[in-house]
A and B are shown apart, each in its own frame.
Chain A
Amino acid sequence: MTVELSAADIAAKLSQRFPGAVLESGGATVLVESHRLLEVARFLKETPGLDFDYVTSITAVDYCHYFEVIYHLISIQHNHTLVLKTRCHTRHNPTVPSVVALWQGAELQEREIYDLMGIAFSGHPNLKRILTWEGFPGHPLRRDYL
């Protein structure tokens, strides 16, 4: 059975390695600073014992005051999971580093978030709209769309 790793344990490991990168942790969720997301993600993927080699889903939520981007990570090798979150606090051109270099499967999901939520992923190899068409006005899943 898939094991949810304790976020507190992971957060302790991350704080030791990247001081100040972890903002919150609870349950199976770790919230990190967006500008340190990539190094944290690389650490989670490449550290023996963690080996998060697969991202099952990436999604985003508009909380009006900020956007939250959520990564559901899984290790196929160890059969354990973790939820990684990050936030961006600007509504105009919010940006999060892309994790496509680590997990190839993130490419289409990041494009979907860019399309529907308007969050740019810096370093994405092919960031353009995917569900709506080029020239579509706005980003339809934002709370202030309409």
Chain B
Amino acid sequence: MEIALPEGYNSLELDKYEGNLINALKASATQPIPDPDDWLDEELKRNIMLTSVDALLNWGRLYSVWPVNFGLACCAFEMIALAVSRFDISRFGMELFRASPRQADLMIVAGTLTWKMAPQVVRIYEQMPEPKWVLAMGVCAISGGTFSESYAVVPGVNRILPVDVYVPGCPPRPEALIHGIQKIHNKIRKDSISRRHWRELARASHDR
């Protein structure tokens, strides 16, 4: 994926650099990244000594999932509705939509992702510190939706990011998004510090 930026570049060279980046990303994203699922059989592997540490950490993470503040398309407005008083995600300790990915735990991919935008989304994701979760919101983020055959649209964000929860709808209502967020909460509850982080496993299997 790394492509050298030419020294003393001009505007067209910068465009070519961007184009090469998108083409490389598109060529490397022919298959979806498998959804992280190794937490499913985690019960047996748990270390009893770590259980209370896990419980404390997970409790802390669970009630302070800060989403990164970005929206791609119309789904973003349902996400905004979720943030304000009628649906009010501050009930879950999530009202802090962070303007910096470095302070965020959850990426809500809200809307249609185009290939032109894809490198920036990957960059935002990579800037988020571990542990982090990804929620694909709406059919466009899940599979490209009605644009899945388009030359310009990524057919599902799981081509470029490992997705934890999919929330279908066009757009999903805020209640559906709350449901998806509760699924993420359930996932966090089952997390443990005793193992390598599952996301590395997902990445490794994807790169292979």
Q: Report whether chain A binds chain B.
A: yes
Name A's B-contacting residues (CB within 8 A): 126, 128-129, 131-136, 140, 145
Q: From A135, A140, A145, give the contact of B16 (CB < 8 A).
A: A135
A136 to B115, CA, bound (A): 11
> Does the CB pair A134–B18 fall under 8 Å?
yes
> Does the CB pair A133–B151 fall under 8 Å?
no
Q: Would you give the shortest CB distance from B114 to chain A, in whole angstroms?
A: 9
Known: A131-B116, A133-B115, A133-B116. A140 touches B151 (CB 8 A): yes
Residue in A closest to B152 when the chains form the complex, CB atoms:
A132
Within 8 Å CB of B116, what residues of A? Answer: 131-133
> Does the CB pair A133–B18 fall under 8 Å?
yes
> Does the CB pair B19–A134 fall under 8 Å?
yes
Residue in B closest to A145 when the chains form the complex, CB atoms:
B151
A-B contact pairs, 7 of them (CB 8 A): A126-B11, A131-B116, A133-B22, A134-B16, A134-B18, A135-B23, A136-B19
Q: Would you give the shortest CB distance from B63 to chain A, in whole angstroms?
A: 41
Q: B20 interface residue, CB < 8 Å from A?
A: yes
Within 8 Å CB of A129, what residues of B? Answer: 15, 19
Q: Would you give the shortest CB distance from B64 to chain A, in whole angstroms?
A: 38
Residue in B closest to A140 when the chains form the complex, CB atoms:
B151
For residues 65 through 97 of chain B, which have their beta carbon under 8 Å from a beta carbon of chain A?
A: none
Known: A140-B151, A140-B152. A133 touches B23 (CB 8 A): yes
Q: From B15, B20, B22, B151, give the contact of A128 (CB < 8 A).
A: B15
A126 to B11, CA, bound (A): 10
Residue in A closest to B14 when the chains form the complex, CB atoms:
A134
Q: Would you give the shortest CB distance from B10 to chain A, in whole angstroms?
A: 11
A131 to B23, CA, bound (A): 15
Q: Would you give the shortest CB distance from B151 to chain A, in whole angstroms?
A: 5
> Does the CB pair B15–A134 fall under 8 Å?
yes
10 closest A-B pairs (Cβ-Cβ)? A134-B19, A135-B19, A134-B15, A133-B19, A133-B22, A134-B16, A140-B151, A135-B23, A133-B116, A133-B18
Within 8 Å CB of B115, what residues of A? Answer: 133
A134 to B23, CA, bound (A): 9
Q: B12 interface residue, CB < 8 Å from A?
A: yes
Within 8 Å CB of B152, what residues of A? Answer: 131-132, 140
Q: Would you give the shortest CB distance from B21 to chain A, in whole angstroms?
A: 8
Q: Would you give the shortest CB distance from B89 to chain A, in whole angstroms?
A: 34
A126 to B12, CA, bound (A): 9
For residues 10 through 34 of chain B, which have their beta carbon under 8 Å from a beta carbon of chain A?
A: 11-12, 15-16, 18-20, 22-23
Within 8 Å CB of B23, what residues of A? Answer: 133, 135
Residue in A closest to B115 when the chains form the complex, CB atoms:
A133
> Does the CB pair A128–B12 fall under 8 Å?
yes
Within 8 Å CB of A128, what residues of B? Answer: 12, 15
A118 to B196, CA, bound (A): 50
Q: Would you give the shortest CB distance from B153 to chain A, in whole angstroms?
A: 12
Residue in A closest to B12 when the chains form the complex, CB atoms:
A128
